[in-house]
Amino acid sequence: MKKNTLMISAVLVVLGAKGFAQIKQDSIKNKEIKEVVITATGAKEKIKNYAGSVSTVSQKTFKELGIQSVGDAMRLIPGANFVDEDGRGIKPSIGLRGLDPGRSSALLTLIDGKIPLGESYSSMSEYTMVPAASVERIEIIRGASPVLYGGGSIGGVMNIITKSGAYDPYKRVYLSYGNYNSLNFGAEAGGGTNTFNYYVGYNRRQSDGSRKSNSKFSTDDFTVSLAARPDNKNEFKFYFSTFWENSKTPGGLNAKQYAEDPRQSLAVHDHDNFLAKRFMSNMTYTRHLDENNTLSAVLYGGYFQRDWWIGSDRSVLGQNKNTGILRNIPSFGTYVDYKNTNQLWDSKNNFLFGLRYHTDIFRNRMVQGQDKDARSGIFQNGNDGNTNVYEAYVYDQFYLRPDFIINPGLRYTYVKYGTNNLTSGTRTKAHSDSFIYSLGFVYQGVKNTEFYATLSKGYQPPSSGLATDPRVLAAGKFIKAETSDNYEIGVRTRPTDWLGFDLTGYLLYFNNKIVRVNGIPDNAGKSFHRGIEFVMNVKPTDYFSFYVNGSLQKATFSNGDFKGNRLPYAPDFMITPGAKFKTALGNGLLTINIYDSYTAKQYADNDNSTPISADGNHGKIPGYNILSGTINYDLNNINFNFNMQNILDREYFTKRYSYWGGIMPSSDRTFSFGVGYKF
């Protein structure tokens, strides 16, 4: 590692020095104001110049396929495993390349390329998601990307590009209704001039859910985005979003109950309720120093609150009472980036240097409610964890030749942890640091084809609870960051106007994996991940197109008692083929899509248990496929749509969850009719 790091450091010093020396006072050309799209390289860039595997899902695709949650869109991403733990798509659990999908802890979710979506270095779990209605597109960077994005990205990055203002002012209202009293409605408006634009949107989803009881949920989201460019030198952007969720918790079923009726929900969960709210905002200022040099600063903050109330029949604190597991996480951070685009040794060069500071507080409480439906209670135990993160990173994109690009990068991260145990009154402190690198290559010497390769060092910082565990500190140890060594090679080709194909192969060595040894956390685990991912798009005519994406992968433990076993929730094979037909019909446009997602069998535990336990907690998760179809008809400014998910009405599940009582059934066949009007 030291040899690779020194080599990359030397390259970056040479490439960066000339960029800093060439700041000029030239004025920049007039440009129309538009959203600053942060993509795979930390600045606006074409995918073809990125040394890695990137997939995108556009708002047009969301509309045509009737996708109502970001999680459902993951079925269009090769190598992405979406574990829909309760069949409603509102709790994001996404894993890439065989890494743990639980609460998307190994996938970093960002808003517009920089702002973390409610995640905390104190706890990398993700509980909420941006509604599909406010998404312009999603970019998924498959594979470790910590040099540009930091911790939490050891499996990849999901970059959610939100909607922004348009030059042609518009307003749109939409409504859809389906079985189980499912309702999705909202309104949005956008507009702008050469110096200012705006977007505002509201969305509500609600449903009785597919379970017979205690399955209702509702979410509300409100988003505002403002941008201004008063002159050629200065840009300003403001973003604000609020999200509310009120959902019942239908819980799990044992093996017998699932076989008898997977739609049932046990009375033991009748008083379970999940309440969440999220507020997040950021302000971005960009200064164009001249046509080659740009300085930008981002200030962001957020607040996330999650109250999970568990009814009296399951309460650990007694009958006719309930248990409240209450968490809230205020967070704050800032980025400062300098970018230089210039000629270096008569070759194009893009240089990026950045600094970041992030802090958050993770407050965790358990309280006893005095009746089954109480929403406040008497304190039982809790702790406060505080995290401060300091980071510096440098990244370069240097054209050795017009058709050959090298991308070196380095990042240093230092994390300070502090935990205050409110029950015992003790305070503990710890720290963690990581020095990581990446080196990528892109070759474009073949017409309409790019070859790329990359090697990188990834890392995942420990949560504050693990880093400050008193048993670890008492033993004179400290929990280090989990790390990965990543190797990737791939090709993107468009040999004809009607054919496109992407192919990626990867190796991922996961080290310092945090496991429990005699009940105490330790960096004793290792795993090995390898696979092939592919995407193909075929459009033989203007009316018909075919697409398919998939992955062949294997993720196994490399040491310990489970050496050679498959990792939980790491299917060997996933594939989604689909077809689209589009034609004029009357005065409008008819679009029909049908697609099928197949996920091979998975294991729910490290033992790779095959026999199903009576309580439903252990045993394999059988493979399943979900056939879906949509019909869209656009007539002038009106859109009519019909969507059906799980057309074949398959019984399946994606999660065994011992805490919630076993098998978590997924939804049966669902359908909806909708209409939208733009004016």
Judged on CB neighbours under 10 Å (0-12, 13-18, 19+), 577 is middle
Can you give the pLDDT at residue 64? 87
User: What span, in angstroms and rounded, lies between the C-alpha atoms of 402 and 406?
Assistant: 11
* 332-341, 388-397, 509-518: least confident range: 509-518
* 25-39, 286-300, 326-340: least confident range: 25-39
pLDDT bracket for residue 123 (50, 70, 90):
low
Which residue ranges form the domains of the chain, and what is each CATH number?
Answer: 37-678 (2.40.170.20)
Can you give the pLDDT at residue 313? 54
* 105-119, 195-209, 461-475: least confident range: 105-119
Q: Is the pLDDT of residue 314 over 60?
A: no
Can you give the pLDDT at residue 40? 41
Can you give the pLDDT at residue 114? 77
DSSP 393: E
Q: Is the pLDDT of residue 581 over 50?
A: yes
Positive or negative, the CA dihedral 113, 114, 118, 121 is: positive
Can you give the pLDDT at residue 38? 34
pLDDT bracket for residue 318 (50, 70, 90):
low
Q: Is the pLDDT of residue 118 over 80?
A: no
Q: Is the pLDDT of residue 543 over 70?
A: yes
pLDDT bracket for residue 309 (50, 70, 90):
very high
pLDDT bracket for residue 170 (50, 70, 90):
very high
Q: Is the pLDDT of residue 553 over 60?
A: yes
User: What span, in angstroms and rounded, lies between the C-alpha atoms of 84 and 90?
Assistant: 8
* 34-43, 532-541, 616-625, 667-676: least confident range: 34-43
Tell me if 235 sits within 8 A of 247, measured CB to CB. Answer: no
More confident residue, 466 or 453: 453
Q: Is the pLDDT of residue 6 over 80?
A: no
Dihedral (Cα; 19, 25, 30, 35), 10-degree rounding = 50
Query: What are the tokens at 119?
Result: 């995640």
**Average of per-residue pLDDT values in the chain:** 87
Q: Is the pLDDT of residue 32 over 60?
A: no
Can you give the pLDDT at residue 37? 37
User: What span, in angstroms and rounded, lies between the C-alpha atoms of 549 and 142?
Assistant: 13
Q: Is the pLDDT of residue 95 over 60?
A: yes
Q: Is the pLDDT of residue 210 over 50?
A: yes
User: pTM of the full predicted structure?
Assistant: 0.89
HEC profile of 325-358? EEEEEEEEEEEEEEEEEEEECCEEEEEEEEEEEE
